[in-house]
Amino acid sequence: MSIHPSQTRAIERLGESLLAYRDDWQAFCADHFGITNDEWQRRVLWSIQANQKVATAGAQGVGKDFVASQAAAAKLILYPFSKVGVTSASGKTLRTNFWGELAALYRSSDLFQRFFEMDTQSVRARGHRETWYLIARTSSAHYSTGSGVGTGEKEAESIAGMYAKGGTLVVVDEASGVDDAVFDSLEGTANTSDCKLLYLGNPLRRSGRFHDVFRRPAFAAGWKHFHVDFTQSTRTNTPEGRAIRLQWIRQHGRNSAFVQARVWGRFPTGGSIDTILNEDLVAAAFGRRSVATWTRANGAFVAPLDIGVDMARFGDDETVIVYRSGDHALRMETMGKKDSQFVLGRILHWVRHYGLVSAGAPIPDEVRDLVTIRVDEGGGYGSGVIDPLRKMGFRCAGVHNGSSPKGRKGREQYDNLATQLWDEDLKAALATAHLSAIADDALLHQLVSRQYEYSVGRESKMRLVSKERMRKAGLGSPDRADALVLAFADLRKLGMTNIASTIRLL
């Protein structure tokens, strides 16, 4: 669009009047928005003004979105024809946190309102909407449908291709949840001092690019780093805030990953302990009604039957068998330490029951071929069940929890297969599982209290806390939860074909 000479002159006067602030974004925000920042927020603003790349790992609630909104506004206003892109893994964070803070700055400044117009997804210079603006987009595939602020991963990645006469700034909020592919795009185009990057987030994971720019030398070069704990923020270092965080420390443990990230603003260290599952995920699965039954439909079976078996090893342990069909749990059998023949008999009994086979009658091929059984074989305890089932023609996997994880990513992230099955397979299953038929307090406790830590060493990896340590801590052995994990374990990780996929192909 054509630019009227008067508009050009107004922009030039704006640039001249604000030129001195380009060396002090903190002073600009204090003077023009009436802001009194915490010391760490002042340091972040000074750093992003003077440097190309700044990463801030902060405790929960310290005001990361507040300082991000100030940096975005300063870049937009102080540099005519600049462009600012803001991305996050969560559309909710953009709408309620970052965008809320930015809107408050907009309302507080006559200067901001005079030269820019703000809607629900962008801030654009009046008369120069396509060449001078701020946009916000989500960057996780999980949020790719978008609503309000944020319209998908492809648009988020397009932020990386922005070019502007006045330079660019890209803010990555909730950076722990953003996919590495997005970071690759952003960092690949940040090749001049006019292209600035600001990453902010809770340091929740010891993997991913946000972690790498702090802890891996190959990625950390050229970055200014900040760690912010709750005591450094006037928002959280209050009597009420201190009481809440003291409660977190008592609940999760001083050295837990939860406390390290959300209280102290630090990435979990080797030896830190936290739980794998949150109660909301488990409660949702428990609340979904189990309605499926594994039986004949017009002479054929409607779904395969998957069985997970965890054998008791010590006197107080339980032997547990979980039966499921698709997303629906059918039954959970629990018993004390039993011999292999007894456990084998229980499995065959319920296979006949669900397959409509008379008690004691031979199990026909059409039933047996759609049954897959996974048995914990650690220490040889499960071999007395596995070997007879295989001789009968059943597909039966012996699972060694201490064996190597599967896939390149799995080997990089996990210490053993059991941890991978808990963190990948069970988490994914619980998002859609119907567990009401087996829900009880013991299973709930075992699921939400299962702990993990990170190994100490050059290649720190996620691993489950040993059952022995959990027993000593009074948490008991998670036998019911382990049987559920086995029932939902991805057969490909166990070196077996997925029956459900085969059925769909046929």
Q: What is the pLDDT of residues 349-367, one digit of tens each?
A: 999 988 888 888 999 998 8
pLDDT value of residue 107: 96
Please give the backbone phi and psi of residue 198, each rounded to the nearest 5 degrees, phi first: -130, 110
| 3-state secondary structure at position 61 | coil
CA triple 98-172-167, angle to 5 deg: 100
Strands 223-228 and 195-201: unpaired
Average confidence (pLDDT) over 470-474:
74
Residue 236 lies in a domain: no
Residues 439 and 324 in one domain: yes
With respect to residue 387, please indicate whether it lies within any of the assigned structural domains: yes
Tokens of 58: 């902060």
Mean pLDDT calculated for residue range 377-402: 88
Q: What is the mean pLDDT of residues 91-119?
A: 90
pTM: 0.66
The C-alpha atoms of residue 354 and residue 20 are separated, in whole angstroms, by 78
Residue 291 sits in the same domain as residue 423: yes
Q: What would the pLDDT profile of 38-55 be if each residue is shown by its tens digit?
A: 999 999 999 999 999 999
Does residue 253 lie in a domain region? no
Q: Are residues 345 and 207 in the same domain?
A: no
Q: Which of 191, 215, 230 is the last residue of a domain?
A: 230
Strands annotated E in 377-467: 395-399, 451-454, 462-464
Asked, for residue 255, whether it belongs to a domain, the answer is no
Where are the strands (E) in 193-251, listed by range?
195-201, 223-228
pLDDT, tens digit, 9 for 90 and up, residues 263-298:
999 998 877 778 888 888 899 999 999 876 665 555
d(CA 87, CA 124): 17
- What count of other Cβ atoms lies within 10 Å of the Cβ of residue 443? 24
What H or E segment, with its residue span, contains residue 301?
strand 300-301
Report d(CA 221, CA 482) in Å as an integer: 42
Beta pairing class for 83-88 and 133-138: parallel
Predicted confidence (pLDDT) at residue 457 exceeds the cutoff of 70: no
Say which CATH number the domain at 397 has.
3.30.420.240
- The two structure tokens encoding residue 93: 């964070």
> How far apart are alpha carbons 440 and 61 in whole angstroms?
35
Residue appearing with tokens 């567990």: 435
Q: Say how many C-beta atoms besides its own lie within 10 A of residue 36's C-beta.
A: 9
356 and 418 share one domain: yes
Whether residues 215 and 87 fall in one domain: yes
Question: Residue type for 337, please?
Answer: K
Question: What is the tally of structural domains in the chain?
Answer: 2
Largest CA distance in the chain: 94
User: Which pLDDT tens digit goes with each residue over 425-437?
Assistant: 999 999 999 999 9
Q: End-to-end distance of the chain based on CA atoms, in angstroms?
A: 59
Task: Give a yes or no: residue 180 inside a domain.
Answer: yes
Mean pLDDT of 303-332: 90
Q: What is the CATH number of the domain that holds 106?
A: 3.40.50.300
Q: What is the mean predicted confidence (pLDDT) over 334-355?
A: 91
- Statement to judge: residues 449 and 311 lie in one domain: yes
Same-domain check for residues 42 and 104: yes
Helix ranges (H only) for 221-273 are: 239-252, 257-262
- Do 428 and 337 share a structural domain? yes
Residue 41 vs residue 193, higher pLDDT: 41
49, 128: one domain: yes
**Region 145-165: what's the mean pLDDT?**
50
Q: Is residue 207 part of a domain?
A: yes
Please tell me the predicted confidence (pLDDT) of residue 206. 81
Give the tokens for residue 313: 């090893």
- Is the confidence at residue 91, as pLDDT, over 90? no
Whether 471 shows a pLDDT value over 80: the answer reads no
Which is it for strands 168-173 and 83-88: parallel, antiparallel or unpaired?
Answer: parallel
Q: Which two tokens stand for residue 406?
A: 């599967």
Over residues 16-32, mean pLDDT? 89
Domain extent for 109: 5-230
- Residue 312 and residue 212 in one domain: no
- What single DSSP character describes residue 194? T
Residue bearing tokens 């060396």: 23
Task: Assess if residue 428 is contained within a domain.
Answer: yes
Both 100 and 205 in a single domain? yes
Does residue 294 share a domain with residue 219?
no
How far apart are alpha carbons 378 and 218 in whole angstroms?
A: 39
Q: Which residue has the higher pLDDT, 459 or 388?
A: 388
In a domain, residue 245? The reply is: no
419: how many CB neighbours lie within 10 A of its CB? Answer: 23
- Note the pLDDT of residue 295: 59
DSSP single-letter state for residue 307? E
Q: Give the Cα separation of 331 and 157 in Å (integer).
A: 45
